[in-house]
Amino acid sequence: MGSAKLVALVLLLQPSLVSANPMRITGGQECNRDTHPWLVLLTTKSGAMCGATLLNQDWVLTAAHCYAREPIHLKFGIHNDHLPSEHEQVRDAVSTFCYPDSPSNTTNSCADFTLDRGHDIMLIKLNAPVTYNEHIAPLPLPDHAAPLGTECNIIGWGETELTVGSHVPLCTTINTMDNHFCQDVSTVTITDNMICAGVLEGGPDACKGDSGGPLLCGGQLQGLVSFGSYPCGEPMVPGVYTKIFNYREWIQSHML
């Protein structure tokens, strides 16, 4: 994850599954170019580090453990991150807010984030509004929580196998499940502010490098990639996602 804060993935799972690496999609296929206008790539001078979601022209949502002490740059409207695109727009992060920071906070709590306190969520204010087009558009907040057993999609620029990355977004399908499946393999308390999702047989999963990316259920932004196992896609080890529905009021209070 380059310079992104990696505390989120340390000491979370049983020792054989612990990873200090960011999450990336595994077991996926290249997404259709026209299906992700809200997808954002976070970068620093160290390189690509996280995924994120565009909420409106001024605000982006990602995971708190994606916070970086160096300047964060955000790329919109891209598909292949190694090819220039006439649709691409780049913005800088001018402010970051981590729960429960208020809009008037002068102290940024993101730098002190640890996953054992929960609330792996960060809002980023852009230095200038993005311009919407066919390749850049927002994704609305969910109007309900995803029920257990819901089929969902995860997406990100990610590894298809260990240490082998993809320059295009990969998509794969997983299912939400009872939180006890994640609690059974985690040393962190799995709360109602988290979603447990994956495939118990193993395979499709979020993995190294795509922390903060979206969990889409029924076309709604239900979660953010938070933490999971490494190697990725292990049987009986689903991933953990931040539950966006529980943070709607906090998010909206900043975007007013």
Q: Which amino acid is at 248?
A: R
- Six token digits for residue 9: 């993935």
Task: Give the C-alpha separation, 126 to 165, whole Å.
Answer: 27
Q: How confident is the model at residue 84 (pLDDT cuts 50, 70, 90)?
A: confident
Task: Give the C-alpha separation, 223 to 152, whole Å.
Answer: 10
Examine domains 18-29+139-245 and 37-138+247-255 and report if their fold is the same: yes
What pLDDT, in 10s, does the model give residues 70-82?
A: 999 999 998 877 7
What pLDDT, in 10s, does the model give residues 146-198?
A: 999 999 999 987 555 555 556 788 899 999 999 999 999 999 999 999 999 99
Q: How confident is the model at residue 38 (pLDDT cuts 50, 70, 90)?
A: very high
Exposure string (b/e) for 191-227, b if CB count within 10 Å is 16 or more?
Answer: eebbbbbbbeebbbbbbbbbbbbbbbbeebbbbbbbb
Q: What is the pTM of this model?
A: 0.88
Q: How confident is the model at residue 6 (pLDDT cuts 50, 70, 90)?
A: very low
- Asked if 161 and 230 touch (Cβ cutoff 8 Å), the reply is no
Query: Among 3.40.718.10, 3.40.47.10, 2.40.10.10, 3.40.50.620, what is the CATH number of 18-29+139-245?
Result: 2.40.10.10
pLDDT of residue 5: 41
* Nearest C-alpha neighbor of 39 from the set 48, 160, 150: 48
CATH class of 37-138+247-255: mainly beta
Give catalytic residues, as residue numbers.
65, 120, 211
Q: Which amino acid is at 72?
A: I
What pLDDT, in 10s, does the model give residues 194-219?
A: 999 999 988 888 876 779 999 999 99
Task: Give the C-alpha separation, 19 to 23, whole Å.
Answer: 9
Greatest alpha-carbon span in the chain: 47
Query: How much is the average pLDDT of 233-245?
Result: 94
Task: Give the C-alpha separation, 249 to 220, whole Å.
Answer: 16
For residue 56, pLDDT over 80 is answered with yes
pLDDT, the chain, mean: 85
Burial-class residue 157 by CB neighbours within 10 Å (0-12, 13-18, 19+).
buried
Q: Which amino acid is at 170?
A: L
For residue 22, pLDDT over 90 is answered with no
What is the residue extent of each domain of the chain? 18-29+139-245, 37-138+247-255
